[in-house]
Structure 1
Amino acid sequence: MSRFSARLLLFAAAAVGVIGCGSEPTMSGKVSDVWNTPIAGATVTIEGVKELATTGADGSFNLPVLTGKKRFKAGAEGFVHVQETIVFPEGAGDGVEKPDVKLTLYPAPESTGFHLVNTQSYSKLDGQAIDTTGTELHAYTGIENPGEVKVGVKPRHRVVYRVEHEPHEIAQMGLELHRLEFVAESLVPGPEGEESVKINRFIAKEAVEFDLKQLASDDCYLIVTRAGLEPGYYAFHSEGLLTSNDVDVLDKTPEKLRKAYPFQVK
C-alpha cells in the first residue's frame, strides 16, 4: 500500500460512524483537480461539522450554512490531501453573498522532485549539471542543457515539489528560482589582451519570487510564482550554486547536489 493510500484510509476511517441526517443543507462546495476536472468520491471534513461530506459525480458536496473562519480538509485516492481555511460572513444564508467553496486537489507525484503543472498533466523537471567555465577572475556558472520541459504563459505557474524535507530544511538549503539567459561567448582578458572565449551556458539573470506551501501530505509542497513568467528559460536551484562564480564552491559540492532544474516558458 502506498503512503498516500494509507493516509487516505486513515483520513476516511476517522469519520466512520459520524455520518448522520440533519436539516436540508443550504450551501454547496466543489472538489476538482488542478486542471478543473471534478473529482467524484472525494472526502471532505469541515471544522465544527460532525458529518463527513462525499463528492458526487460532478465533484460537488453539500454543507450546512456556516459562519466565521472554518478549516476544510479534502482528500481522494491518488491525490495529495489539502487543507484550506475559508471565512464565512454572518448571515450567509440570508441573502448575504457567500464565498465559493472550491477545493483543489493535486495528483500525488509518483517520484520525488519538481513536478510542473502543465496543460493536462505534470511535467517532471530533470536535473542538469551546473558547472563553471572561463577564468578564475571571469567565470561563468550555468548549465549547458536547458531540458525539454515547456509550458505556456499563465497568470501564475505552479509546481508540486515532493521531497522528504521539513520546511526549515528547505529554508536552510535556500531554494531559488531564476530566469536564465544564454551566453554564447564572452571577451576575457588574457596575456595578449582580450580574447573571445566560448561560454555556451545558460546562466542566472534575475531571481523570480514564489510562495512555498506545505500540503497536508508530509512530503509534498506547492510552489506558486507570485506573477506570470514571461517567455524564456527558468531553473530551480539551491545553495546559491547557479549564482556563484566561485569555482571552489562548486568543486566542494557533491556532484549529485550540483544540479539545476530548468524549464522553458513559451
Structure 2
Amino acid sequence: MSLSIATWNINSVRLRINNVKRYLRLRKPDVLCLQETKCPDEFFPHKAFEGLGYTHRLVQGMKSYNGVAILSKVPFTAKNIHHRCGKEDCRHIEVALETGADPILLDNLYIPAGGDIPDPAVNDKFAHKLDFYREMAQWFADRKPKAGAAKGQRRIAVGDLNVAPLEHDVWSHKQLLKIVSHTPVEVELFGRLKASIDWIDVPRRFVPEDKKLYSWWSYRNNDWSASNRGRRLDHILASPALSGAIRSHRIDVDLRDWKQASDHVPVMATFEV
C-alpha cells in the first residue's frame, strides 16, 4: 500500500480553500495535515473536502488563531486531541491510520512561533515555545516502543514545527543565529525532540544536509523567489520502523506564487506500507 502524507500551514483554511482544493487535485495526497486553520470547528469547510474524497476528518480549531486538521482518504481510529502546556490552543491532534495489523500513528503539530525576542525571561511567547518543545520531547519519549514490541512502532509526525534546525535550513546561518526559529536553544530542543524516538528527518533523507531546503518565505519579501530568504519550518518525521518504507518527498515551492498564497508551501512524503 502506497501512502502519501502532506503537511501545510495554510494560514486560514477558509481564506485559501480554493488553493487547498487546487493542491489536492494536483498532488492527490492520501492524507493532508493542515496547521493554522484559524477556523472554529462549526465553520470548517467540510463539504469541500468531502467532495474530493477526504471523508475521514479530525479538526480542532479556534477563531482567528492556530488550529489543526487531519483530512484523509484512509480510514483512521483513535482520534485524540491533546492540550499542551496547560493551554487549549489547538496545536496537536493524533489519529491511527488503518494500514493493516499495525496502524500508523500520525501526529499533526503546530508548535508556537515564539514571537520576535529570543529571551524567555522577557518574551512569554518564546517561553511557551520552549516549554512546548520540552513537553513534546518527553511525551514522545514516553511512547517510544520497548525493544521487541510487535506493534506501535510505526509513527509519523508532521507539521509546522517553527524551527529550522540545520545550517542550510535557513538562508543565512550566521545572520539568523539570534533570530527566533534558528537560535541555538531552539535547535537544541528540536534535537531533543528528534532523539525522543530516533525520528528520521524524511526530506533530508533525499536532500543532503549541505544543500539548501526551505518551506517558508516571509510576506515581507516583495520578491520572495529573487531573494530566496527562506527557512525550513515544516517537517515530516518518521519512526525507525518506517525507515525502509520511505519512498519519496516533495516540497512544492511554486505554490508560493499562487494567488493569495500562504507564506508556507506543502511538504509531502510517500511511504510503501
TM-score clears 0.5: no
Higher-Rg member (1/2): 1
Report the TM-score, using the length of structure 1 for normalisation. 0.25
Q: What TM-score, normalized by structure 2, do the two folds share?
A: 0.25
Give the structure, 1 or 2, with the largest relative contact order (CA under 8 Å, sep 6 or more). Answer: 2
Larger helix percent:
2
